[in-house]
Structure 1
Amino acid sequence: MPSASRIPLVIAASVVALQALVFLVLAVLDLAGLVSGRIAVGVGIGLLLGILGLGLGAAAVGLLRGAHVARGPVVVAQLIGLGLAWSLRHPDPNTGDNRLVALAIAISALVVLGCLATGPARRALADDGQ
Structure 2
Amino acid sequence: MFLLTLLGPDLSGGVSLVTGFSLSRSNHPLILSSCSPLILSSSHPLILSSCNPVILSSCHPVILSSSHPLILSSCHPVILSSSHPLILSSCNPVILSSSHPLILSSSHPVILSSCHPLILSSSHPVILSSCHPLILSSSHPVIL
TM tier, shorter chain? under 0.3
Task: Write 1 or 2 for the structure with the bigger share of helix.
Answer: 1
Larger Rg: 1
Instruction: Decide which structure has greater strand share.
Output: 2
Q: Higher relative contact order at CA 8 Å, sep ≥6: structure 1 or structure 2?
A: 1
Q: TM-score, normalised by structure 2?
A: 0.21
Q: TM-score, normalising length from structure 1?
A: 0.22
